[in-house]
Structure 1
Amino acid sequence: MRYSPSHKLETKEKLLQSSAVSAKKSGFSTIGVDGLMKAIGLSGGAFYSHFSSKDELFAAIVERELDQSLTRLGGQGGQDCARLERCLQHYLSMAHVEQPEAGCALPTLGSEIARSDIVVRQQAELWICRLQESWARILESDSLAWAILSQCVGALVVARMLATPDIQRTVLASSHDEIGRQIAGRQQATCK
């Protein structure tokens, strides 16, 4: 059977999308090549026409997911405190806790990124630093941007570890309130 010239690109895109969802939902290391390919209706052998290894796929997922997180959370162009507040509200939400496959890759894949080779960690660092720089421009504070970024990721990880929705909500609300206080401390000088 002959495939269209765009078939290979479309298949690779499907594999990236499906693998990213699976990785954020269940962890990347828990799924084998056969399972990744089966999810898009292909055999495991077809994997190697798209990626030379599972590690190469993971690197592509990290780049793609962190680029999407940067677009959602940092964006390009005119950012302000009001937009940052909306992003934080969405990030620290029960919807984000309950749907890891649709959200930021840092809370779900962070530990796997930390155990990856230096190339993947450097790639993650590049995207994380870009997000931090975006927030630092808004807040006019490098340290506050790092603190808020770390607080958000940590709060989401802790909330997902908990079993009781009321306690999860408390963690998210407490984190959001504390971040709000931190931003308010800087807001008079930077976000008028």
Structure 2
Amino acid sequence: MGHSQADKARSRERILEQAAGQVREMGLESVSVSKLMSSAKLTHGGFYGHFASRSELLLHALERALDDGRAAFEAKNGTGPHDYCATVRGYLSRKHRDARASGCAIAALAGDVARADEASREAMSSRIEQFAVNLGASMNQEDADKALFAVSALIGALVVSRVMVDEKRSDAVLAAAKRQLLALNEDN
């Protein structure tokens, strides 16, 4: 007995949802096809009806994780022009730092993607470029280099703050980056 296209689409959606959540929380290499299919209540053999390879799955899971992160940001901040200072403060907050599984997927996965295939790097590169364009539009100046620097500093500071074991040092990383990035926007 065959499955309808709607059933197949729902199954693919379950697989991607599970995989995207897993890569955000534990990284790209954490995905085991057999465990993923089991958690999606599907057979291991059925995987190839949805994806040609594990690499293809990882690319789609990465794209989903990045899109989910963007959607969460837009749900909180709206889709229009964003306030630079509010973005910096929110991104470099304790709440965001502590939300590893639901926070910025770029920060969560940049190290993995740096070692991944070109398609995965391209998927993340395009999201980073868009982040820089959006952040640049909210800055007091029109300097693409400053916007790209600000995005790099935001992501880097969040990653380093998550690495720090001592919570006071982690908070210090966030506070220092926040001060510098807010001052950057005042420079004209």
**TM bracket, shorter-chain basis:** 0.7 to 0.9
1:118 aligns with 2:121: no
Which residue matches 2:145?
143
Alpha-carbon separation, structure 1, partners of 2:86 and 2:41: 38
CA offset digits 1:57-101 (Å, max 9, x no partner): 11112222333444526x886414x2x333322221222222211
Aligned runs of 1:164-179 on 2, under 5 Å? 164-179=166-181
Identity across aligned pairs (percent)? 27
What is the rounded CA distance, in whole Å, between the counterparts of 2:80 and 2:105 in structure 1? 24
Whether contact under 8 Å (1:69, 1:105) holds in the other structure is yes
Q: Distance in 2 between matches of 1:12 and 1:115?
A: 26
Maintained 8 Å contact 1:20/1:101: no
Structure 1 stretches of 4+ with a deviation exceeding 6 A read none
Aligned positions, number: 183
Q: How far did residue 116 of structure 1 move?
A: 1.6
Cα deviation digits, residues 118-170 of structure 1 (max 9, x gap): 22222222221122112222222101111111111111111111112222122
Q: Which range moved further: 177-186 or 89-98?
A: 89-98
Q: Which amino acid aligns with 2:165?
A: A
Letter in 2 for 1:156: L
Residue 43 (structure 2) pairs with residue 39 (structure 1): no
- Tell me the CA shift for residue 171 of structure 1: 1.2
Name the structure 1 match of 2:94. Answer: 94
2-structure distance, mates of 1:99, 1:41: 27
Q: Could you tell me whether the CA contact under 8 Å between 1:66 and 1:128 is conserved in 2?
A: no
With structure 1 as the length reference, what TM-score do the two structures score?
0.83
> Which 10-residue stretch deviates more, 58-67 or 161-170?
58-67
Cα distance change on mapping 1:30 and 1:63 into 2, 3 Å: closer
In the alignment, the residues of structure 2 paired with residue 133 and residue 99 of structure 1 have an alpha-carbon distance, to the nearest angstrom, of: 24
RMSD (CA atoms): 2.3
In the alignment, residue 167 of structure 2 is paired with which amino acid?
Answer: P
Q: Does the 8 A contact of 1:70 with 1:131 survive in 2?
A: no
**Structure 1 match to 2:65:** 65
Shift of residue 102, structure 1, vs aligned partner: 0.5
Pairing 1:184–2:180 present = no
Query: Residues 25 and 77 (structure 1 numbering): CA distance in 2 closer, same or farther, change over 3 Å?
Result: closer
